[in-house]
């Protein structure tokens, strides 16, 4: 079975500071990994994805994530936080062999950005 | 393209009432999904449809039924609503790797 754990349900950073949101996954087969962002009262939007090509993945809005198989991690980073980055972030995993493309989501991390 | 659309946006039901949440996508995607989102629990898959004419249970299917009406539309039905079904419901469709999400339906059951 697959699972995702996001460390920290709330993360607060100052504007201009490094953003680091942690995600660890469990999967017995090669995974696809995703980060989604959800702004208040909206649906989810894909930030970036790992699909077994480059291990360092760049996404929208200056975010990036690195797939580390040995650590079963896929942490999300951004060098300098903006106020507009305040949102909830979800890490998700998908089995590359799964029919139907089902995603397993972590519980989410709410990012606050202080001026 | 409108992407994934959901109706209604908000709904309040009394315990025992029934309702259907509608979802449609105009991207010609084969696979569609229904999730519920609850605080601190992320999104949990209720049902999915890998292709037109097929549906399968997800992680939390109890109390729900679905219909894949055609390639565009995938509806979620609550036959007898319970307070535990108070949640935000999202529909999504799949293009290769990425799932595209609708704006959600906020359902309250009193």
Residues of B in contact with A34 (CB under 8 A): 97-98
Residues of B in contact with A44 (CB under 8 A): 43, 90, 92, 99, 101
Nearest chain B CA: its distance from A3 CA (Å): 12
Q: B25-51 pLDDT, tens per residue?
A: 999 999 999 999 998 888 999 999 999
Per-residue confidence (pLDDT) for residue A76, from 0 to 100: 98
What is the sign of the dihedral through the CA atoms of B43, B3, A112 and A71?
A: positive
- The confidence band for A50, taking pLDDT boundaries of 50, 70 and 90, is very high
State how far the Cα of B95 lies from the Cα of B97, in Å rounded to an integer: 6
Q: Identify the weakest region by mean pLDDT among A60-64, A82-86, A92-96.
A: A92-96
Closest residue of chain A to B90, computed from CA coordinates: A43
Q: B64-110 pLDDT, tens per residue?
A: 999 998 999 999 999 999 999 999 999 999 988 889 999 999 999 99
- Tell me the CA end-to-end span of chain B in Å, nearest whole number: 36
Are the CB atoms for B83 and B8 separated by under 8 Å? Answer: no
Closest residue of chain B to A90, computed from CA coordinates: B42
> What are the angstrom distances between the C-alpha of A4 and each of A26, A83, A113, B8, B65?
6, 27, 24, 31, 27
β-strands B43-49, B19-25 pairing: unpaired
Do the chains contact at B97 and A51, CB–CB below 8 Å?
yes
State how far the Cα of B42 lies from the Cα of A73, in Å rounded to an integer: 18
């Amino acid at each position: 079975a697959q699972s995702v754990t996001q460390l920290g349900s709330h993360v607060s950073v100052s504007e201009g500071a490094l953003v680091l949101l942690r995600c660890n996954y469990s999967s017995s087969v090669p995974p696809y990994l995703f980060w989604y962002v959800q702004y208040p009262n909206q649906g989810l939007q894909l930030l970036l994805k790992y699909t077994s090509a480059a291990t360092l993945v760049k996404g929208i809005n200056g975010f990036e994530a690195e797939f580390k198989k040995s650590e079963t991690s896929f942490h999300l980073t951004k060098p300098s936080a903006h106020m507009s980055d305040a949102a909830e972030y979800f890490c998700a995993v998908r089995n590359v062999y799964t029919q139907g493309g089902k995603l397993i989501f972590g519980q989410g991390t709410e990012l606050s950005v202080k001026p | 393209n409108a992407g994934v659309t959901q109706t209604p946006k908000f709904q309040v039901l009394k315990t025992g009432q029934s309702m259907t949440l509608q979802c449609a996508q105009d991207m010609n995607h084969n696979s569609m999904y229904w999730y519920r989102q609850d605080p601190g629990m992320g999104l949990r898959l209720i049902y999915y449809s890998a292709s037109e004419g097929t549906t399968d249970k997800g992680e939390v299917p109890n109390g729900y039924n679905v219909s894949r009406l055609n390639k565009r539309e995938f509806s979620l039905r609550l036959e007898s609503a319970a307070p535990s079904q108070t949640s935000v419901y999202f529909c999504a469709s799949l293009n290769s790797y990425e799932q595209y999400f609708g704006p959600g339906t906020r359902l309250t059951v009193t």
